[in-house]
Amino acid sequence: MILIILAIFSSNICASNINPIVGEDDTYSKNIRIGESDIFNWTVYRNSSVNYVVTVSAQGFESWNHQISPSYFVLDEIMPYQIVGLHVTVPTYPDKEKRDATITFSFRPLNESKTVVIKKDVTVHVTGVLETGKNSILGMFRNPLPPPLDAAIGAFILNVFLWTIIAIVVYLFIKRILIEIAKKTKTLLDDILIEIIRRPILFLIVLYGSVQSIFNLDINLGVRATIDQIFMFVFFIVGIYMVYRIFDEVLEEITRRKGGKTTIFGSVLRPVFRKIGLTVIIIGGLIFALSIIGIEVTALLAGAGVLGLVIAFAAQDTLSNFFSGIHLLLDRPFKIGDVIYLETGEYCRVENVGMRSTKLYSIFDHELIILPNNAVANQKIINIVRPDVKIRKKIEVGVAYGSDLKKVKESLINATKNHPNIVNKPGYEPKVRFTGFGDSSLNFQISIWIDEVMNQWDVLSDIRCEIDNLFRKENIDIPFPQRTIWLKKGILNESSNKKEKYHTTNNTDKKSDEK
């Protein structure tokens, strides 16, 4: 009987010893400052020959940023123990000054359904929280009001009044002093900037004073955190508004300095920069504001990145034209009104350079050509009005062998002397060159400068006519291609005999037909 009792007792002891152990080798009640982090550690032991699958979870930190590492692992012969860490971050706006949580360790033996659960408690005390209900004025002075206003409600009313006075004083200082100083400067930009920030600053001072006045009341930390979040969000919204207004006015000032809204910058680039700036300022400001008030924006940024890639692939042609348009507008290889020569051999006048396409007027065909900006940017274009509107052209002419070369040169020069559209200034005089011996002619070239690129076709026609007239007067021939054929005498006689034979045969055939 005694042996049976001892056996049962020893088996109970062994059964109690097979459970795993969660060792407490850390402090589990910690003071953590607002916005900072700390780690709680446990060492988990297998404590037997049983292998376990372990999962770890935390309850109580749902609204806080926390992470368990590792949250899933196996205890076996290779790894009989594991250190588990709980990383906790106190948010910028905590809802409580003390947070209790429970950490649950679940041990499931391999190939069994039974689970062993061990729970551990942790406590976080939030530090760095400003006191409320201090019954102070502007956070520095004791409440001087008589009863019953010597309580927190009296301090609240007096603080709101004083902060309103401070806001009005700052507003008048900006209006009466800073604006007068800005008027003495040469630019209007500082006047505009002061006008933009004047009212928002008044609003922000009143808002800040109201929030600080509310904190004099005895309110719990959760309400205070909500008020703080609302204040910071409104503060950043007002900041976004001021930044955008300043950005817009800077663009307006640049437009005025570039020549006004009728220029390429004012009519094309300014609207584009304005839209891009508005998008970047609003989206960037909202993301920053959300992150400041404690909202996780990582997923939002990742989604925005994926969406950006999708849009980039779907609209790559449009984006290519867009950036090509910006390149054309900034690099300015041509401007509106310039005459350009395309690779296709067309002379076109630039009518408009947009963000997606460029409009060209075909001078000879009287047609409006619309080309995508990337097609314009990727081809060779000759701007024939740059560096100025003058253009040099060449006329080729051939004269007969035996002509007086001196007369030829004089005639070519005289053909250009009296034309009003030919430039005869020093350095731009017409030049005649003897370029070579052709098959049928002596080849000359005359190079002339024309005062206006758009006059080139009429001028060249006039000069060619005048050259023809002068050559006729001077009896200078313009030859045409000729070939001299020499035939041997034997070949010629053989050809004549064949011809006579052909005629005889034809006559015989005709007589047969008559019979």
Residues 6 or more apart whose CB falls under 8 angstroms from that of 279 comprise: none
* 299 found inside a domain: no
pTM assigned to the model: 0.49
* 72 found inside a domain: yes
Residues 401 and 332 in one domain: no
Given a contact cutoff of 8 angstroms between Cβ atoms, the answer to whether 264 and 302 are in contact is: no
How many Å apart are CA 448 and CA 424, to the nearest integer?
A: 9
Residues 180 and 211 in one domain: yes
* 480 found inside a domain: no
Residues 164 and 253 in one domain: yes
Residues 156 and 270 in one domain: yes
Residues 120 and 55 in one domain: yes
Residues 430 and 361 in one domain: no
Residues 179 and 73 in one domain: no
The number of beta carbons lying within 10 Å of the beta carbon of residue 361 is 16
Residues 239 and 156 in one domain: yes
Q: How far is CA 4 from the centre of its chain?
A: 85
| Domain final position from 67, 99, 127 | 127
- Its domain, for residue 422, covers 391-473
* 136 found inside a domain: no
* 62 found inside a domain: yes
- CA distances (Å), 87 to each of 22, 65, 67, 124, 127, in order? 17, 8, 5, 12, 17
* 482 found inside a domain: no
* 305 found inside a domain: no
Q: How far is CA 470 from the centre of its chain?
A: 64
Q: How far is CA 143 from the centre of its chain?
A: 55
Q: For residue 345, give the CATH number of its domain.
A: 2.30.30.60
β-pair type (21-23, 81-89): unpaired
Residues 411 and 340 in one domain: no
- CA distances (Å), 158 to each of 143, 150, 166, 213, 392, in order? 9, 10, 12, 8, 84
Element (H, E) at 258: helix 221-258
- Work out the angle between the directed axes of helices 298-314 and 316-331 (0-180°, nearest 10): 80
Residues in the chain: 515
Number of domains in the chain: 5
* pLDDT per residue as tens, the chain (515 positions): 444 444 444 444 444 446 888 888 788 899 988 878 899 999 999 888 889 999 999 998 887 888 999 999 999 888 999 999 999 988 877 777 788 999 999 999 987 778 889 999 999 988 876 555 466 666 666 666 676 666 667 777 788 888 888 888 888 888 888 877 877 777 777 778 888 888 888 888 888 888 877 877 767 777 777 787 788 888 888 888 888 888 888 888 787 777 776 666 666 677 777 878 888 888 888 887 777 766 777 777 777 777 777 777 776 777 777 777 777 777 778 888 888 888 888 889 998 887 788 899 998 888 899 988 888 888 888 888 888 888 899 999 999 998 999 999 999 999 998 898 999 888 888 999 999 998 889 999 999 999 888 888 899 999 999 999 999 998 998 888 766 677 766 555 555 555 555 455 444 454 444 44
| Domain final position from 96, 127, 158 | 127
| Domain final position from 357, 383, 409 | 383
* 151 found inside a domain: yes
Residues 120 and 35 in one domain: yes
DSSP symbols for 84-143: EEEEEE--SS-S-SEEEEEEEEEEEETT----EEEEEEEEEEEE-PPP----EETTTEE-
How many Å apart are CA 421 and CA 164, to the nearest integer?
A: 76
Residues 6 or more apart whose CB falls under 8 angstroms from that of 264 comprise: 329, 332, 335, 336, 353
Residues 347 and 240 in one domain: no
Residues 154 and 178 in one domain: yes
